[in-house]
Amino acid sequence: MKTILDKILNDAQKETDCASDLKGLNEVRIKFLGKNGEFTAVMKNLKDIKAEERPLFGKLINDAKVILEGHIAFKEKELSVKELEEKLLSETVDITLPGKRVEYGSLHPISIVINEITDIFTGLGFDVTDGPEIETDKFNFEMLNIPKDHPARDMQDTFYITDDIVLRTQTSSMQIRTMLKQKPPIRIINPGKVYRSDFDSSHSPMFHQIEGLAVDKHITLCDLLGLLGEFAKKLFSKETKTRFRPSYFPFTEPSVEVDVTCSECKGKGCPLCKGTGWMEILGAGIVNPRVLENCGIDSGEYSALAFGMGIERIAITRFGISDMRIVFENDKRFLRNYR
Ligand code: DAH
């Protein structure tokens, strides 16, 4: 019995020493100490031994088991350290590799210009409103003194959803919506998208406008001149001069086109301003009394100034963009220039 036991312990220790990983070591443990292991088998044989010798052999078996357990525990520690080292080695982080670049978003050049213009007018006491892009023919045209078949409609050919519903061609529809629900004094600007069936290097079927409206007692063309002159100085530079040219809009009387000195050449003449020294930036005027009356405002008591500008035109002037279509292609290489 003693020799058998010595042999088992000897074999078990040898196999323990040979285990190359924790998994292999566990197999050795099961083989010798497990429920069906070799020591358990020897234990079962105790019943064949004389009763008085049993305690002695029982002790010998237990001692051998304790020795083996110690041996395995020692090996286990050694293998754990080895495996951990191997793992750390194989998982090393190469801190010299370039990091992943995080791309920051930025505002679209059109949004930048809208924000700047909005800041200027809110600083001058104007509120910002918002209205629908799908508009009735009535608010987009008729109430603005542009009846059906009026020739002025030709300049704003648009997308009709039905005979009476259009994609708005101008933010001027917001003058009507505001005056119908708000009593004077009124000071609003309305930035938003407008649509016209145009498409070439200087026209996109969708573009942006900002409409402005001020209704109060005694508003005159002088107020319009002062307001827009101040606006141009704030948007471009202190040296910017403004000039009014007579024009025609059905909803204003008198009507003007407003030019500013070219931001590129400061009025000397350059390719951007086609040699004139001036750039047209907006249309404006004193609101036609008929439009006020359409909205239930007494034109004997109140007068109003209004203006509307194309944001893209201002952005193009500001940033020197040559083809307007590129503004909406959302090519990141282009947009990155305007951070
Ligand atoms: N709605 C005009 C357009 O789209 C621009 C405009 C001109 C707006 C004169 C106004 C204005 O409010 O008074 O061409």
Q: What is the pLDDT of residues 139-188, one digit of tens each?
A: 999 999 999 888 888 877 788 899 899 999 999 999 999 999 999 999 99
What pLDDT sits at residue 141? Answer: 95
What pLDDT sits at residue 106? Answer: 85
Distance, CA 251 to ligand 1 centroid (Å)?
Answer: 8
Kindly indicate the confidence band of residue 1, based on its pLDDT and cuts at 50, 70 and 90.
confident
Residue 190 in contact with ligand 1 by CB distance below 6 A: no
pLDDT for residue 51 is more than 90? no
pLDDT for residue 94 is more than 90? no
Q: Give the residue whose CA is nearest to atom 13 of ligand 1.
A: 284
Instruction: Please name the residues in contact with 23: beta carbons below 8 A apart, sequence gap of 6 or more.
Output: none
Kindly indicate the confidence band of residue 49, based on its pLDDT and cuts at 50, 70 and 90.
confident
Please state, in angstroms and rounded to a whole number, the distance separating the CA atoms of residues 171 and 167: 11
What pLDDT sits at residue 116? Answer: 96
pLDDT for residue 75 is more than 80? yes
Kindly indicate the confidence band of residue 89, based on its pLDDT and cuts at 50, 70 and 90.
confident
pLDDT for residue 74 is more than 90? yes
- Closest ligand 1 atom to residue 309 Cα is 5
Q: Of the residues 251, 259, 288, 313, which should be mutated to test ligand 1's pocket, given the most ligand atoms within 8 Å of the CB?
A: 251
Residue 307 in contact with ligand 1 by CB distance below 6 A: yes
What pLDDT sits at residue 161? Answer: 92
pTM of the model: 0.71
What pLDDT sits at residue 27? Answer: 93
Q: Of the residues 175, 186, 249, 305, which should be mutated to test ligand 1's pocket, given the most ligand atoms within 8 Å of the CB?
A: 249
Residue 308 in contact with ligand 1 by CB distance below 6 A: yes
Residue 280 in contact with ligand 1 by CB distance below 6 A: no
How many helices (H) does the chain have, and how many strands (E)? Answer: 11, 9
How many Cα atoms occupy the beta-carbon half-sphere of 254 within 13 Å? 12
Distance, CA 220 to ligand 1 centroid (Å)?
Answer: 17
Q: Which amino acid is at 237?
A: S
Distance, CA 133 to ligand 1 centroid (Å)?
Answer: 16
More confident residue, 281 or 103: 281
Q: What is the pLDDT of residues 228-253, one digit of tens each?
A: 999 999 999 999 999 999 999 999 99
Distance, CA 127 to ligand 1 centroid (Å)?
Answer: 18
Query: What tokens does 311 get?
Result: 């944001």
Of 197-211, 286-300, 303-317, the poorest mean pLDDT is in: 197-211
Please state, in angstroms and rounded to a whole number, the distance separating the CA atoms of residues 127 and 212: 10
What pLDDT sits at residue 58? Answer: 86
Q: Give the residue whose CA is nearest to atom 12 of ligand 1.
A: 307
Residue 274 backbone phi and psi in degrees, to 5: 55, 40
What pLDDT sits at residue 310? Answer: 93
Q: Give the residue whose CA is nearest to atom 6 of ligand 1.
A: 308
What pLDDT sits at residue 266? Answer: 85
Residue that the structure tokens 């508003």 belong to: 219
- How high is the mean pLDDT of the chain? 91
pLDDT for residue 324 is more than 80? no
- Closest ligand 1 atom to residue 212 Cα is 12
Q: Return the percentage of the chain with pLDDT > 90, whole number.
A: 60
Per the DSSP assignment, residues forming a β-bridge with 190 are 211
Q: What is the pLDDT of residues 256-293, one digit of tens each?
A: 999 999 888 888 988 878 899 998 999 999 999 999 99
